C-alpha cells in the first residue's frame, strides 16, 4: 500500500486517513485514483505506458483548470511516479491524530463505510464468502403465507440403518435423514433451513455435535461420530425456517444500523450527544474516528458547533425495531429453536469396536467434530490431550511465571472472572476501570502470574465508557512483547452479528496480521482463540444475535486463521454438545471445560502429570490391562 500521508497534497486536501488512502472524498483525486487503479488492470507493455501518458496529460489539465497550486502539482507527480513503480511502503502511526470532519461518500452496503482491502484481500474475501455461502432462500410474499413455511412439528428425522450388517460400534458414522414439511404437511422442495443436531446420553454426561448437510431439496442429513459405548440419542432442532433466513438477510443489508451507538461530546459547559456507527446514513457531516494504525472505521455525527476532538464517551444507544409483517417467522415454540420429532427410534445402542472389524462410514461427510463430552468432561479429537485442572494448585502450576493477555467481549471476560475466582492467590488490582470494558488486571505475586482483560474496540454494546478506553485488538497485540512466558487469548464475535459480514472479515484480517507479526518476533507465544457459541433468544434477539449470523462468522473465523500457529477453543461445539441449555454466557460446567482446553494448550504434557488424578488414572489403566 502506498503511504499517501507522506505527501503534502494529502494534507492540503484535508482528507481523513482512510480517505487519503482511497482518495474517496476529494473529487479531483478520486478521478485520478480511479485512473491509476485502471492501470493495474492493463497488462504490462505499450498499452500500459500509453495509458500512463494519457493519465499525466488528463491530470495536468484537470489540475490547471482547478487552479491547483504548483507545490500540489509537484507533489502529485512525485506520488504518481511512486505509484507507477508500485513502491510498497509500510505505515505505522503510534499516536492518534485529531478526527477530521468529512461527508460520508464512500458507501458500501448502501451506507456502511468499510475498511478498503488490497486486491489480494479482496480475492480472499470473495473466496471466503463463496466457501460458506448459504443456499438461496425463497422470496417472501406480502402478506406472508405461513402455511408454506417450514414447520418443525410436521417435519421428521429418521436414523438410517447401518450400511453393513451388525451392531453399531464405536468409530462408526451414524446418519439421520431429516425431512422438512410445511404447516400444511407438504414436503418442502428447497433447502436453506437452519438446523442444529447433536448426539447425546444425559446419563453418561456424553454428547457430540452433528454436522448437517443440506441436499437443497427439503431434505438434510445429520452425521454423527459414535464415540462412546451405550445409548446414543439423536436430537435435531429447527433454529430458523428458510423463510426466516430471507428476512435475516434483508435486515442485515437494509438495516445494518439497527443497533446504534452514542457518543458524548463536551467542551467547557457545553455537552452534546450524537449517534455513532460504522453504518451512518448520509444525512449530515460526520466525525471520522477511523483508527490510523489498523484502518478500522468508526464514525459519529458531528455535534453542532463543537469540534470532533471533544468526544469523551461511547455507549450503546439502543435498537431500532426491525420487525415487519414477517414476525410470525420468529415464534419461540412454533418455528424458532424447536425440536423436530423422530419418525421412529431416536436412539441407537453403541458397542465396543470389535477387533478386525472395519468402522462403518454411512455418509460422505469427512470432517470430524472438534471433540465430545464423556462423563461431563470434554475430550478433544484434534490430538490435544485435555487435562483436568480440578484444583487451584494445578491451575497455578500451569500459569506460574506467565503473562496472560485476554481480549474480546463479555464471553472472554468470563474466563478472566473464572480464573480470578478459582485462584485464591490471584488478586484483582483495582484500576478503577469500567468492569465491562476494562482494563481488568489480576496478580499473583508469589507465583509471578499476571492476567489481564480488555474489551475489543467498537462496535461494543456497553454502558457509557471513556472513548479512550476502546482499544482495537490488533493494536494491543502489536504492544505485546511475546515469548514463551506469554499467552494471548481473544474472542470477538457477539457484537458483530448485526453488521455486514464483510465488516467482521476485515476486523479478523486486521487481527490476523497482528498475530502474524507477534509470532514472527516471538514464536514461542501461545495464541488461543475462543469462537462464538449458540444461544437462546426471543424475536428481538433473533435480529441481533441469531445463531445463523453467529454460524456464518464462525466459518469466517476458522477459515481466516487456518494454517497459523494458533489454538482454537471451539465454544460452538462445546455448547451445542452439552446437555445444559444454550446461553450467550455458558454455565460454569462448560466454562470449566473451556478453561481446561485453554490451559492444556499452555501446559501440554511433557511426560509428567498435571495432578495426582492423572497419575492414578494412568496407573489404573496400566493395572487393568
pLDDT one-digit tens code per residue, 235-272: 999 999 999 999 999 999 989 999 999 999 999 889 99
Question: Rounded to whole angstroms, how far apart are CA atoms 596 and 576?
Answer: 18
Number of domain units in the chain = 3
Residues 581, 582, 588, 591, Cα dihedral to 10°: 140
Q: Is residue 229 classed as helix, strand or coil in its secondary structure? A: coil
pLDDT at 306: 94
- Mean pLDDT value across residues 282-301: 94
CA distances (Å), 106 to each of 27, 205, 264, in order? 12, 53, 25
Q: Which three cell numbers stand for residue 33?
A: 485514483
Question: What is the chain's mean pLDDT, rounded?
Answer: 82
Higher pLDDT, 249 or 610: 249
346 and 387 share a domain? no
Higher pLDDT, 107 or 323: 323
Q: Considering the domain boundaries, does residue 574 fall inside one?
A: yes
191 and 42 share a domain? no
Question: Rounded to whole angstroms, how far apart are CA atoms 371 and 354?
Answer: 23
Q: Considering the domain boundaries, does residue 355 fall inside one?
A: no
Q: Considering the domain boundaries, does residue 256 fall inside one?
A: no
Q: Considering the domain boundaries, does residue 505 fall inside one?
A: yes
C-beta of residue 16 within 8 angstroms of C-beta of residue 290: yes
345 and 386 share a domain? no
Q: Which three cell numbers stand for residue 49?
A: 505506458
Q: Considering the domain boundaries, does residue 529 fall inside one?
A: yes
- Mean pLDDT value across residues 59-76: 40
Q: What's the sign of the alpha-carbon dihedral 297, 298, 300, 302?
A: negative
**pTM (2 d.p.):** 0.79
389 and 346 share a domain? no
Other C-beta atoms closer than 10 Å to the C-beta of 526 total 22
333 and 386 share a domain? no
- Cβ within 8 Å of residue 47, ≥6 positions away: none
- Residue 310 DSSP code: G
120-126 long-range Cβ contacts below 8 angstroms, 24+ apart:
121/509, 124/509, 125/502, 125/505
Cell 428425522 found at: 157
Q: Which letter, b or e, does each residue of 335-351 get, where b requires 16 or more Cβ atoms within 10 Å of its Cβ? A: bbbbebebeeebbbebe
585 and 441 share a domain? yes
Q: Considering the domain boundaries, does residue 418 fall inside one?
A: yes
C-beta of residue 509 within 8 angstroms of C-beta of residue 127: no
Question: Rounded to whole angstroms, how far apart are CA atoms 492 and 54?
Answer: 47
- Cβ within 8 Å of residue 304, ≥6 positions away: 272
173 and 34 share a domain? no
517 and 469 share a domain? yes
155 and 18 share a domain? no
Residue 156 main-chain phi, psi, to 5 deg: -145, 165
Q: What's the sign of the alpha-carbon dihedral 565, 567, 572, 577?
A: positive
Residue where a domain stops, chosen among 91, 113, 138: 91
pLDDT of 490 > 80? The answer is: yes
pLDDT at 363: 55
**CATH number for the domain harbouring residue 189:** 2.60.40.10
Range among 6-15, 346-355, 416-425 with highest mean pLDDT value: 416-425
Q: Considering the domain boundaries, does residue 66 fall inside one?
A: yes
- CB-based burial label for 20 (10 Å; 0-12, 13-18, 19+): buried
pLDDT one-digit tens code per residue, 424-475: 999 999 998 888 888 999 999 999 999 999 999 999 998 888 999 999 999 9
Domain around 155? 146-247+329-350
pLDDT one-digit tens code per residue, 386-408: 999 999 999 999 999 999 999 99
Residue where a domain stops, chosen among 50, 75, 91: 91
pLDDT at 605: 80
Kindly write down the DSSP assignment for every residue of 115-182, as one continuous string: PP--HHHHHHHHHHHHHTPPPP-----SS--GGGSEEEEEEEEEEPPPSSSS--BTT-EEEEEEEEEE
Q: Alpha helix (H) ranges present in 13-85?
A: 17-22, 27-40, 46-65, 70-85
Residue where a domain stops, chosen among 73, 91, 109: 91
- Residue 463 DSSP code: S
List strands edge to edge, sheet with 526-530: 427-429, 440-444, 449-455, 403-408, 486-491, 526-530, 567-569
341 and 453 share a domain? no
596 and 498 share a domain? yes
**CATH number for the domain harbouring residue 568:** 3.40.50.1110
66 and 167 share a domain? no
Q: Considering the domain boundaries, does residue 127 fall inside one?
A: no
Amino acid at each position: 500500500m502506498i503511504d499517501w500521508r507522506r505527501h503534502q497534497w494529502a494534507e492540503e486536501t484535508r482528507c481523513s486517513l482512510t480517505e487519503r488512502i482511497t482518495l474517496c472524498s476529494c473529487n479531483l483525486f478520486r478521478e485520478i485514483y480511479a485512473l491509476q487503479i485502471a492501470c493495474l488492470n492493463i497488462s504490462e507493455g505499450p498499452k500500459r505506458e500509453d495509458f500512463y501518458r494519457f493519465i499525466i496529460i488528463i491530470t495536468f489539465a484537470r489540475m490547471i483548470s482547478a487552479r491547483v497550486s504548483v507545490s500540489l502539482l509537484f507533489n502529485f507527480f512525485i506520488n504518481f511516479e511512486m505509484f507507477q513503480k508500485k513502491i510498497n511502503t509500510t505505515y505505522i502511526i503510534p499516536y492518534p491524530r485529531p478526527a477530521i470532519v468529512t461527508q460520508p461518500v464512500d458507501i458500501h452496503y448502501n451506507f456502511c463505510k468499510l475498511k478498503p482491502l488490497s486486491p489480494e484481500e479482496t480475492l480472499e474475501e470473495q473466496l471466503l464468502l463463496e466457501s460458506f455461502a448459504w443456499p438461496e432462500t425463497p422470496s417472501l410474499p406480502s402478506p406472508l403465507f405461513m402455511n408454506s413455511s417450514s414447520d418443525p412439528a410436521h417435519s421428521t428425522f429418521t436414523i438410517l440403518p447401518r450400511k453393513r450388517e451388525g451392531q453399531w460400534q464405536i468409530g462408526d458414522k451414524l446418519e439421520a435423514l431429516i425431512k422438512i414439511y410445511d404447516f400444511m404437511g407438504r414436503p418442502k422442495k428447497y433447502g436453506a433451513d437452519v438446523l442444529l443436531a447433536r448426539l447425546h446420553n444425559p446419563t453418561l454426561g456424553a454428547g457430540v455435535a452433528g454436522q448437517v448437510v443440506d441436499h437443497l431439496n427439503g431434505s438434510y442429513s445429520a452425521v454423527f461420530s459414535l464415540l462412546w459405548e451405550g445409548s446414543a440419542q439423536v436430537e435435531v432442532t429447527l433454529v430458523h425456517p428458510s423463510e426466516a433466513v430471507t428476512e435475516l438477510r434483508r435486515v442485515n443489508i437494509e438495516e445494518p444500523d439497527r443497533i446504534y451507538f452514542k457518543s458524548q461530546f463536551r467542551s467547557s459547559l457545553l455537552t452534546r450527544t450524537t449517534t455513532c456507527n460504522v453504518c451512518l446514513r448520509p444525512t449530515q457531516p460526520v466525525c471520522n474516528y477511523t483508527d490510523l494504525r489498523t484502518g478500522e472505521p468508526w464514525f459519529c455525527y458531528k455535534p453542532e458547533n463543537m469540534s470532533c476532538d471533544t468526544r469523551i464517551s461511547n455507549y450503546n444507544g439502543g435498537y431500532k425495531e426491525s420487525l415487519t409483517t414477517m414476525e410470525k417467522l420468529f415464534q419461540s415454540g412454533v418455528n424458532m429453536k424447536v425440536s423436530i420429532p423422530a419418525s421412529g427410534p431416536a436412539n441407537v445402542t453403541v458397542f465396543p469396536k470389535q477387533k478386525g472389524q472395519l468402522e462403518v462410514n454411512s455418509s460422505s461427510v469427512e470432517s470430524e467434530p472438534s471433540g465430545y463430552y464423556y462423563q461431563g468432561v470434554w475430550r478433544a479429537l484434534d490430538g490435544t490431550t485435555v487435562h483436568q485442572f480440578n484444583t487451584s494448585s494445578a491451575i497455578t502450576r500451569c500459569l506460574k511465571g506467565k503473562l496472560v493477555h485476554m481480549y474480546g467481549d463479555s464471553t472472554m471476560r468470563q474466563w478472566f472472572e473464572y480464573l480470578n475466582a478459582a485462584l485464591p492467590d490471584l488478586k484483582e488490582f483495582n484500576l478503577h476501570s469500567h468492569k465491562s470494558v476494562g482494563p481488568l488486571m489480576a496478580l499473583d505475586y508469589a507465583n509471578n502470574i499476571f492476567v489481564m482483560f480488555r474489551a475489543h474496540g467498537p462496535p461494543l454494546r456497553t454502558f457509557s465508557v471513556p472513548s479512550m478506553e476502546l482499544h482495537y485488538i490488533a493494536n494491543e497485540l502489536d504492544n505485546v512483547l511475546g515469548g514463551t512466558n506469554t499467552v494471548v487469548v481473544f474472542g470477538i464475535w457477539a457484537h458483530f452479528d448485526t453488521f455486514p459480514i464483510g465488516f467482521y472479515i476485515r476486523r479478523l484480517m486486521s487481527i490476523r496480521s497482528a498475530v502474524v507479526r507477534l509470532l514472527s518476533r516471538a514464536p514461542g507465544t501461545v495464541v488461543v482463540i475462543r469462537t462464538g457459541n449458540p444461544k437462546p433468544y426471543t424475536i428481538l434477539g433473533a435480529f441481533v444475535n441469531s445463531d445463523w449470523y453467529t454460524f456464518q462468522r464462525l466459518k469466517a473465523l476458522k477459515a481466516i486463521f487456518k494454517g497459523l500457529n494458533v489454538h482454537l477453543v471451539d465454544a460452538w461445539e462445546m455448547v451445542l454438545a452439552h446437555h445444559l441449555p444454550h446461553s450467550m454466557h455458558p454455565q460454569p460446567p462448560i466454562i470449566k471445560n473451556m478453561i481446561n482446553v485453554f490451559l492444556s494448550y499452555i501446559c501440554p504434557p511433557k511426560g509428567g502429570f498435571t495432578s495426582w488424578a492423572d497419575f492414578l488414572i494412568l496407573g489404573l489403566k496400566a493395572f487393568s490391562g
